[in-house]
């Protein structure tokens, strides 16, 4: 006779990673790449059975392209996208306006002058390929069901194929989207509003009868409809703002009917859709980004409207900020470093929410997506002035201060040939720029990269500022020291050449 019990099967236990990442969208993938290249163990789990389809967040901003440059995937991403896509907007009276995307061309401090259009699944594909090159992988079909934390770490239960497994990790990061299980189980509030009356159909469709040389928009009294060609595919992204009472059906017939009414054209035929979604205005910001050893990033921490192309980019930059800090603490840096993540990133998300909300309101009122792109939308002005990690001896009028994005510079001559600054700083390390007669550090820490700006390069680490672009971008004197963080922001500037200040800064981090 076989004895039966009501006991649940005991979850199996595997070796403990340093970081458990829940969610393998762009945010989770970026974080995994950051940890992998730093040699920090992690597990990246994703509840979905495989990569997610759909164009979704199709705009990659210049600042995010700089993050991808640092990770070594920017060429791959750009190859599957289109930079500075023009917009062709048709008014209700039939008048057509063609707007060229604003760019920052011929700026030696900005390597990527405009936003890139590429389907989000392409961005995720590039990140997964990079992760594989770094020895990592996504565990698809693996869901987080719960966790507990202590002073020593986090104990989580994950489920794959019906089998439960216990995972212990030093820290858990929730990159699991707007409905984040991590956020809910951590008891973190998600303040904001859901506006059911503000909706938008988003779909990927094949289109006959329309050229692919621009993003096509039609303004109509009942709302906006647009078709944006998706580079490296044969598809367009379809977007239609819905007023209250309008049909939200996602089938081809309704999409076609909306397009016919609003465009006034009968020769454009839709096929599909291959993917579709009904977006509702659910705009929220987490009360905090951390609960003990549990962190939030990306949509788990902030949900934005699609207007302005900010949400995915903000999440990727969350991961870029958090990744180097987690890696540093794993290697012995002060755990207090992790307190700066929320302090630096939550205000950024709050600002992005305000911007995207304003742009959504403008799109609804004017029946047109705002075409203008500036430093706010490109995210090149995102910075952390006032952070505990930002120190300088400059006054308030200085254009560049500690905490700002570290600008690029062209025309740098090294013993190996001409380079731009970002070629020399990528890789997730601290970099010290020492201009002219700036003193050397008495005991530079292991892993610090030093670039000495000299008249003629004689050895490794020497750079000649042949065009003066480096000194101009950094406002350097003959003794300036600039410490650049692993995430491409300025940590410290000393025009007085205070090497001891640099040493104290690095020692405080640990």
Q: What is the pLDDT of residue 3?
A: 41
The yes-or-no verdict on residue 367 having pLDDT over 80 is: no
pLDDT in tens, 390-416: 999 999 999 999 999 999 999 999 999
Q: What is the pLDDT of residue 198?
A: 82
- How much is the average pLDDT of 91-120? 88
Residue 96 domain flag: no
pLDDT in tens, 24-51: 999 999 999 999 999 999 999 999 999 9
Same domain, 172 and 203: no
Q: What is the pLDDT of residue 4?
A: 39
Average pLDDT, the chain: 92
Last residue of a domain, one of 213, 246, 281: 281
Query: Which candidate, 182, 11, 6, 63, places its Cα nearest to that of 489?
Result: 63
Residue 297 domain flag: yes
Domain of 441, CATH number, reads 3.40.30.120
Q: What is the pLDDT of residue 15?
A: 63
Diameter of the chain measured on Cα atoms: 89
| Integer Cα distance of 113 and 47 in angstroms | 36
Same domain, 476 and 421: yes
- How much is the average pLDDT of 419-429? 96
Same domain, 424 and 309: no
Same domain, 181 and 197: no
Number of domains in the chain: 3
Task: Flag the least confident range among 38-47, 167-176, 347-356, 475-484.
Answer: 347-356
Same domain, 299 and 216: no
pLDDT in tens, 350-366: 988 877 666 666 655 65
Residue 170 domain flag: yes
Same domain, 124 and 266: no
Last residue of a domain, one of 344, 378, 412: 378
Same domain, 50 and 60: yes
Bridge partners of residue 318, in order along the sequence: none
Residue 97 domain flag: no
Same domain, 23 and 172: yes
pTM of the entire predicted model: 0.94
pLDDT-derived band at 457, boundaries 50, 70, 90: very high
Q: What is the pLDDT of residue 446?
A: 86
Same domain, 206 and 178: no
pLDDT-derived band at 2, boundaries 50, 70, 90: very low
Residue 99 domain flag: no
The yes-or-no verdict on residue 100 having pLDDT over 80 is: no
Domain that holds residue 231: 193-281
| Integer Cα distance of 5 and 7 in angstroms | 6
| Integer Cα distance of 223 and 213 in angstroms | 23
Query: Which candidate, 201, 175, 207, places its Cα nearest to that of 254?
Result: 201
Same domain, 151 and 76: yes
pLDDT in tens, 218-270: 999 999 999 999 999 999 999 999 988 999 999 999 999 999 999 999 999 99
- How much is the average pLDDT of 456-467? 96
Q: What is the pLDDT of residue 490?
A: 98
Q: Please report which residue ranges of 367-428 form alpha helices under DSSP H.
A: 375-378, 421-425
pLDDT-derived band at 500, boundaries 50, 70, 90: very high
54-63 in b/e burial notation, b at 16+ Cβ within 10 A? Answer: bbbbbbbbbb
Same domain, 355 and 449: no
Q: Which residues contact 136 (CB under 8 A, 6 or more apart)?
A: 32, 33, 36, 42, 44
Same domain, 326 and 405: no
Domain of 363, CATH number, reads 3.50.50.60
């Amino acid at each position: 006779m076989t004895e039966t019990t009501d006991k649940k099967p005991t979850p199996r236990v595997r070796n403990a990673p340093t970081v458990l990442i829940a969610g393998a969208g762009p945010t989770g993938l970026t974080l995994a790449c950051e940890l992998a290249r730093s040699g920090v163990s992690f597990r990246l789990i994703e509840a979905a059975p495989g990569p997610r389809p759909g164009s979704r967040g199709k705009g990659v901003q210049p600042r995010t392209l700089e993050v991808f440059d640092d990770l070594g995937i920017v060429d791959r991403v750009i190859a599957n996208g289109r930079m500075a896509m023009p917009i062709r907007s048709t008014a209700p009276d039939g008048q057509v306006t063609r707007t060229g995307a604003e760019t920052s061309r011929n700026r030696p401090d900005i390597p990527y002058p405009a936003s890139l259009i590429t389907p989000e699944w392409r961005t995720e594909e590039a990140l997964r390929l990079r992760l594989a090159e770094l020895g990592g992988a996504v565990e698809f079909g693996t869901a987080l069901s719960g966790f507990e934390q202590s002073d020593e770490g986090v104990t989580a239960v994950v489920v794959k194929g019906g089998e439960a497994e216990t995972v212990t990790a030093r820290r858990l990061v929730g990159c699991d989207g707007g409905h984040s299980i991590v956020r809910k189980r951590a008891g973190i509030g998600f303040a904001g509003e859901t506006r059911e009356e503000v909706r938008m159909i988003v779909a990927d469709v094949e289109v006959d009868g329309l050229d692919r040389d621009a993003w096509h928009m039609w303004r109509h009294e009942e709302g906006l409809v647009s078709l944006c060609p998706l580079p490296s595919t044969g598809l367009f992204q379809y977007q239609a703002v819905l007023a209250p009472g309008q049909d939200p059906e996602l089938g081809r017939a309704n999409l076609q009917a909306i397009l016919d009414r609003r465009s006034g054209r009968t020769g454009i035929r839709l096929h599909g859709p291959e993917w579709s979604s009904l977006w509702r205005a659910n705009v929220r910001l987490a009360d905090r980004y951390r609960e003990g050893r549990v962190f939030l990033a990306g949509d788990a921490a902030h949900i934005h409207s699609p207007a302005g192309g900010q949400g995915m980019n903000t999440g990727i930059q969350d991961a870029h900020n958090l990744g180097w800090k987690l890696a540093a603490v794993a290697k012995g840096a002060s755990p207090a470093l992790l307190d700066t993540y929320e302090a630096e990133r939550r205000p950024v998300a709050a600002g992005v929410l305000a911007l995207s909300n304003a742009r959504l309101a403008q799109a609804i009122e004017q029946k047109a997506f705002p075409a203008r792109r500036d430093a706010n939308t490109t995210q090149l002005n995102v910075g952390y002035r006032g952070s505990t990690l930002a120190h300088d001896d400059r006054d308030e009028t200085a254009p560049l201060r500690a905490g700002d994005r570290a600008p690029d510079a062209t025309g740098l001559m090294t013993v190996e040939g001409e380079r731009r600054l970002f070629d020399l700083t990528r890789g997730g390390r601290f970099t010290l720029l020492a201009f002219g007669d700036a003193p050397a550090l008495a005991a530079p820490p292991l892993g610090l990269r030093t670039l000495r700006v000299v008249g003629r390069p004689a050895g490794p680490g020497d750079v000649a500022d042949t065009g003066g672009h480096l000194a101009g971008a950094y406002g350097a004197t003959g003794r300036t020291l600039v410490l650049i963080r692993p995430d491409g922001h300025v940590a410290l500037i000393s025009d007085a050449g205070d090497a001891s200040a640099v040493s104290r800064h690095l020692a405080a981090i640990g």
